[in-house]
Amino acid sequence: MWIRLKEGADVRAVQGTLQGLGLWTTPVRSVSCERWSLQVAAHSAFMPPEELTGLDGVADVMAAVSSHPRIDQQAGCSITLGSARLGPGERPVLMAGPCSVESEEQIQAAAAMVAKAGATVLRGGAFKPRSSPYSFSGHGHQALQWLRAAADAHGLAVVSEVMSEAKVETVASAADLLQVGSRNMQNFALLRAVGAMGRPVLLKRGMAATVEEWLQSGEHLLNAGAANVIFCERGIQSFDPCTRNLLDLGAVALLKYVHGQPVVVDPSHAVGRRDLIPAMSRAARAAGADGLLIEAHPDPEAALSDGPQALDGVALRDVAKDLA
Ligand code: PEP
Ligand code: MN
């Protein structure tokens, strides 16, 4: 973005005002006239151009055309999810539950456990993306019915993953928040179908996706009709397998403080081990996350998927207390 100054404007004074708003600028003098322009650095805070044109000394503002105008428009918004609101100034939202819905009994116990800990959204996979075709891949439609009933019994909202265009309506019939998983972040046909439901969407970051690609996938969802997009950082693949993925907290702060977006962190898939989840949850909150998505299971050792990264009820309550 470029900010053109009025003739005779005090360049340093305008720069000072802008710096106070979180905009870092470099002055450039026009060769053809005595006017200065300020080039705004990419790492500056997000500021709508109309708010800058009224400042003392500013003539006009030239903003590059954004690749994600609808995402820019949802900056600073709050989103209602069941009994909670997610966004600036709201209490952090805790979404928790098992990786997979395994049985009616398991998800009922999980719902009771996460509600008691203070979560307001129940997670649970009915259609599971698994690296191996021989791994448990979810109980599908039946699991969604168990999930909805368990959430209703405990006053929770539901988030669940949609894996294919064919199942969008099925998942939307049971979930308040539609999850698009990492492996599908750039499945544009799926993004269009999910967006068309007009619901809020939890968009997980692709394992090797740049923040710009992630924002543009969010734009696909809003362009197709999604009510809102919540960005979920769940770790990116790195050279080092010492944790399951590399939790990119810089991206969380960037999305929150530069792009003004609703953002949650999934520390479970990021580190892949339950002992590091409390520390990463605190770090996520400190980096600006509006909430957490955490895997929790009434009996983690018996989980059919992702047991090593699942918290039990006691550990989840401790994380919830920290968060509050
Ligand atoms: C999940 O949340 O169940 C999941 C599969 O996560 P991700 O898409 O981040 O791997
Ligand atoms: Mn999982």
Nearest to 280 by CA among 303, 311, 249: 249
User: At which residue do the structure tokens 């109309």 appear?
Assistant: 50
- What does the alpha-carbon distance between residue 98 and residue 269 come to, in Å, rounded to a whole number? 12
Count CB neighbours of 135 within 10 A: 12
Give the pTM: 0.89
Return the pLDDT at 48: 86
- What does the alpha-carbon distance between residue 172 and residue 125 come to, in Å, rounded to a whole number? 13
Count CB neighbours of 50 within 10 A: 9
Tens digit of pLDDT at every position of the chain (324 positions): 999 999 999 999 999 999 999 999 999 987 766 789 999 998 888 888 889 999 999 999 998 888 999 999 999 999 999 999 999 999 999 999 999 999 999 999 999 999 999 999 999 999 999 999 999 999 999 999 999 999 999 999 999 999 999 999 999 999 999 999 999 999 999 999 999 999 999 999 999 999 999 999 999 999 999 999 999 999 999 999 999 999 999 999 999 999 999 999 999 999 999 999 999 999 999 999 999 999 999 999 999 999 999 999 999 999 999 998
Ligand nearest to the CA of 305: 2
Angstrom distances, CA of residue 263 to CA of 101, 169, 196, 267 = 25, 25, 21, 13
Phi first, then psi: give them for residue 84, nearest 5 degrees: -115, 160
- What does the alpha-carbon distance between residue 124 and residue 66 come to, in Å, rounded to a whole number? 35
Return the pLDDT at 206: 98
- What does the alpha-carbon distance between residue 11 and residue 4 come to, in Å, rounded to a whole number? 10
Tell me which residues have their CB closer than 6 angstroms to ligand 1: 99, 125, 129, 161, 181-182, 204, 234, 266, 269
- What does the alpha-carbon distance between residue 79 and residue 202 come to, in Å, rounded to a whole number? 11
How, if at all, do strands 177-180 and 200-204 pair?
parallel
Count CB neighbours of 49 within 10 A: 12
- What does the alpha-carbon distance between residue 211 and residue 132 come to, in Å, rounded to a whole number? 28
Return the pLDDT at 234: 98
Ligand nearest to the CA of 295: 2
Ligand 1 atom 8: residue of nearest CA: 181
Atom of ligand 1 at shortest range from CA of 232? 9
Return the pLDDT at 139: 98
Return the pLDDT at 64: 81
Return the pLDDT at 90: 96
**CB-based contact 147:122 (threshold 8 Å):** yes
DSSP state of 241: T
Ligand 1 atom 9: residue of nearest CA: 182
User: At which residue do the structure tokens 């300020």 appear?
Assistant: 38
Nearest to 233 by CA among 249, 212, 217: 249
User: At which residue do the structure tokens 């805070």 appear?
Assistant: 45
Instruction: Supply 163's token pair.
Output: 């894996």
Nearest to 122 by CA among 91, 104, 148: 148
Return the pLDDT at 70: 94
Return the pLDDT at 289: 98
| Protein residues within 5 Å, CB atom, of ion ligand 2 | 99, 306
Distance 71 CA to ligand 1 centre (A): 23
How far the first Cα of the chain sits from its last, in Å, is: 38
Return the pLDDT at 145: 98
Return the pLDDT at 33: 67
- What does the alpha-carbon distance between residue 221 and residue 200 come to, in Å, rounded to a whole number? 9
Distance 99 CA to ligand 2 centre (A): 4
- What does the alpha-carbon distance between residue 106 and residue 280 come to, in Å, rounded to a whole number? 26
